[in-house]
Amino acid sequence: MKSTKKIFLMLIVFLCLCLFGLPQAMAGMDAFDVNKMSDMSDFDPNNPIIPTGDTIKIAVVCSFSGPAAAVGEQYWACATFVAHDINKRGGILVDGKRKKIQLFKANHMSKPAQTKKICERMVLQEKVDILWGTNGSNNMKVINQVAKKYKVIAQDFTALSDELYDATNFTRYSFMTVPSCDVVGSALAYYYGKIRMKEKKFYILCQDYLFGHSMAKGFKRGLKEYYPEAQLVGEDYHKLFMKDFAPFLEKIKASGAEVIYTGDWIPDAENLLVQARQMGIDLPIANIFLNEPNMLHRAGVEGSKNLHNFCMTGTAEGVAFPTAEQIKYYHAWYDQFKKWKAPYNTKVFKHGWGGGGSMGSYMQQLYWLLSVIERAGSTDPEKIISVWEGDSYRDVFNTVYYMRPCDHKVIADYY
């Protein structure tokens, strides 16, 4: 009896310690602080101030040319904005020195072979500390391989394929700070099966490479778990950067589908949406990247209806910028945008960086990386890894991210 009471008392003490420690852990979580931001009035992505010398070197690896050059423009604007802010604060104290952020354009041209070539050049010649990428899970896979080979940190801020971090491809040098295809697919399946509870017939149309197939796999897995009565009436994959979607859209019309599910990103996403609406296909489209403002403007008010978007950051409901801090953050970008020239003067740069836009997520993911480096006090990969594994971070939109130590994949609430 005494033994039982002793065990019970120990359990109570343990639970009290846990409850006491939880608020402390949350209080100790680093968070984006808009009040620490620099005066951004001189920021211009067309003329970024790039420091040289003894710096923290980050390669922005993406498509700066070719059919997806517009993607590179978005990434560059996001990265230079964050770097400009941090550099005007004086940089980050690492390895006993305060260093500024130096960015490098690493053009992979949407080709895996070029990705390997440019990443190795960045590591071996430019001596970068970070590989930051990228559009195309096939290209991100190569980035991770280079990171593993040369023991440099890679941040995956936009390639969603789960296979990148499975038992075969995992490397401790890479961190996935974007939600995976399984997360996106499961979330959208849950939405249709448990919340909307209306449509039952789905047609999958994705890009024919690693990411597209991963997106389809995630959705099918989600339907099986959350909406088993749903019916998959079609499944197709198209080549990247395709201009004519008519053959696929005709099949969708004939299938009796009630929802199109796609992971397409620009320019494919825009061509798919605009052509579908032009052909009179007004079905809901479950998506993650059909939120690009230039595309939505081209589709028009009617054409942009029935887009069910998985949002990578932001609030679940209400106004776009519900707090004074978020309004201040909004003006840090928007007040400068009004002065920019092409290619940074389009609607995507006016609207696409906020809580509901992909660019808003990219910027906050980079702030998280720099927060980790600052707290590690070093660009040493081992020290960065030790801080980032199990780390939590709150972004400006109040999204809390947790880095799962076992596979380096982010956990967060998404909408």
pTM, full prediction: 0.88
Cβ burial, residue 14 (10 Å; 0-12/13-18/19+): exposed
- The CATH homologous superfamily for domain 34-179+322-329+357-411 is Response regulator (3.40.50.2300)
Cβ neighbors of 115 (< 8 A, separation 6 or more) are 61, 108, 134, 139, 142, 143
Q: What tokens were used for 68?
A: 């997806």
pLDDT by residue for the chain (415 residues), tens only, comes to: 444 444 344 434 433 433 444 344 444 689 999 999 999 999 999 999 999 999 999 999 999 999 999 999 999 999 999 999 999 999 999 999 999 999 999 999 999 999 999 999 999 999 999 999 999 999 999 999 999 999 999 999 999 999 999 999 999 999 999 999 999 999 999 999 999 999 999 999 999 999 999 999 999 999 999 999 999 999 999 999 999 999 999 999 999 999 999 999 989 999 999 999 999 999 999 999 998 888 899 999 999 899 999 988 765 555 566 788 888 998 999 999 999 999 999 999 988 776 667 888 999 999 999 999 999 999 999 999 999 999 999 999 888 999 999 999 999 988 7
CA–CA gap between residue 224 and residue 407 (Å, rounded): 24
Cβ neighbors of 280 (< 8 A, separation 6 or more) are none
Distances (CA, A) of 299 to 246, 269, 273, 282, 306: 16, 11, 7, 11, 12
Would 34-179+322-329+357-411 and 182-309 be classified into the same CATH topology? yes
Q: What tokens were used for 323?
A: 């707090």
Q: Can you give the pLDDT at residue 18?
A: 39
CA 307, 312, 314, 315 torsion: positive or negative?
A: positive
Task: State the SS3 of the chain.
Answer: CHHHHHHHHHHHHHHHHHHHHHHHHHHHCEECCHHHCCCCCCCCCCCCCCCCCCCEEEEEEECCCCCCHHHHHHHHHHHHHHHHHHHHCCCEEECCEEECEEEEEEECCCCHHHHHHHHHHHHHCCCCCEEEECCCHHHHHHHHHHHHHHCCEEEECCCCCHHHHCCCCCCCCEEECCCCHHHHHHHHHHHHHHHHCCCCEEEEEEECCHHHHHHHHHHHHHHHHHCCCCEEEEEEEECCCCCCCHHHHHHHHHHCCCEEECCCCCCHHHHHHHHHHHCCCCCCEEECCCCCHHHHHHHHHHHCCCEEECCCCCCCCCCCCCCHHHHHHHHHHHHHHCCCCCCCCCHHHHHCCCCCCHHHHHHHHHHHHHHHHHHHCCCCHHHHHHHHCCCEEECCCCCEEEEECCCCEEECCCC
Cβ neighbors of 4 (< 8 A, separation 6 or more) are none
User: Between helices 358-376 and 69-88, what is the axis angle to 10°?
Assistant: 40
CA–CA gap between residue 288 and residue 115 (Å, rounded): 24
CA–CA gap between residue 234 and residue 202 (Å, rounded): 7
Q: What tokens were used for 139?
A: 């290209």
CATH number of 182-309: 3.40.50.2300
Cβ burial, residue 17 (10 Å; 0-12/13-18/19+): exposed
Q: Can you give the pLDDT at residue 168?
A: 96
CA–CA gap between residue 130 and residue 153 (Å, rounded): 5
Q: Can you give the pLDDT at residue 414?
A: 82
Q: Can you give the pLDDT at residue 319?
A: 58
Q: Can you give the pLDDT at residue 317?
A: 53
Q: Tell the residue number behind the tokens 């420690």, with chain if given.
A: 21
Q: Can you give the pLDDT at residue 324?
A: 87
Amino acid of residue 203? Y
Q: Can you give the pLDDT at residue 25?
A: 40
Residue 141: count other Cβ atoms within 10 Å of its Cβ.
20
Domain ranges (residues) in the chain: 2-31, 34-179+322-329+357-411, 182-309
The side-by-side arrangement of strands in the sheet containing 307-309 is: 231-238, 201-207, 259-261, 285-287, 307-309
Q: Can you give the pLDDT at residue 355?
A: 60
Q: Which residues pair with 394 in a beta bridge?
A: 31, 400
